[in-house]
């Protein structure tokens, strides 16, 4: 989570965030979403409801924050030795994660509870960072490469659109085609 302006990133604030996030995840493993409430999460986390309301505003904002944190990549993208295969491997993994039931739920939560752009922007930043790593590797190998915005616009955006609105039309084969179209635009024959 991006720290709220004026909030310290360590100490009590970090402990409260970890405790509340863990409580949400535990409760979601035990109950349906409709059974969650701020008082229940607060009780499970060992904090007062006012702490949750003050920090997150409400349940949907809290779920958005938890989802954004859950969508954070665990590791840098795989280095396969070439930009095309790096992008393809990463994009297929991204597709699998985001199109899974939990992935879709996290996406919905991030969007539904983001009263500004903090959590959606954070998720965009995750993709941007992952793509930038692959593009830097390509540059280090001397490969021609698009810029990060082109990858987001021509690979990530169509995947996310399909994941959200037309999941039957996005397959690993379609992802491979998107990668090739993106890279073919960089060095037309």
pLDDT band at 188 (very low <50, low <70, confident <90, very high): low
Architecture of 83-186 per CATH? Answer: Orthogonal Bundle (1.10)
What CATH number was assigned to the domain covering residues 11-57? 1.10.10.60
Contacts 24+ apart (CB under 8 A), 86-89: 86/134, 86/137, 86/138, 87/134, 87/151, 87/155, 87/179, 87/182, 87/183, 88/175, 88/176, 88/179
pLDDT band at 119 (very low <50, low <70, confident <90, very high): confident
pLDDT of residue 114: 75
Q: Are 51 and 41 in contact (CB under 8 A)?
A: no
pLDDT band at 37 (very low <50, low <70, confident <90, very high): very high
pLDDT in tens, 142-164: 999 999 999 999 999 999 999 99
pLDDT for 133 beyond 90: yes
Q: Are 72 and 27 in contact (CB under 8 A)?
A: no
Mean pLDDT along residues 1-25 = 72
Phi and psi (nearest 5°) for 90?
Answer: -65, -45
pLDDT band at 118 (very low <50, low <70, confident <90, very high): confident
Query: Would you kindly state where each structural domain of the chain is located, as residue ranges?
Result: 11-57, 83-186
């Amino acid at each position: 989570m991006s720290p709220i302006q004026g909030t310290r990133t360590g100490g009590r604030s970090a402990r409260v965030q970890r405790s509340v996030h863990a409580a949400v995840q535990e409760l979601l493993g035990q109950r349906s979403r409709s059974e969650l409430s701020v008082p229940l999460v607060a009780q499970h986390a060992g904090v007062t409801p006012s702490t949750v309301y003050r920090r997150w505003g409400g349940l949907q904002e809290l779920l958005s924050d938890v989802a954004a944190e859950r969508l954070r990549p665990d590791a840098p993208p795989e280095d396969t030795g070439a930009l095309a295969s790096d992008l393809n491997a990463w994009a297929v993994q991204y597709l699998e994660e985001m199109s899974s039931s939990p992935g879709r739920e996290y996406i919905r939560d991030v969007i539904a509870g983001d009263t500004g752009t903090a959590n959606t922007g954070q998720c965009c930043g995750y993709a941007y960072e992952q793509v930038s790593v692959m593009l830097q590797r390509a540059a280090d190998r001397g490969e021609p490469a698009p810029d990060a915005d082109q990858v987001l616009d021509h690979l990530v955006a169509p995947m996310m659109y399909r994941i959200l609105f037309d999941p039957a039309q996005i397959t690993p084969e379609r992802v491979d085609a998107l990668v090739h179209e993106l890279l073919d635009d960089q060095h037309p024959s």
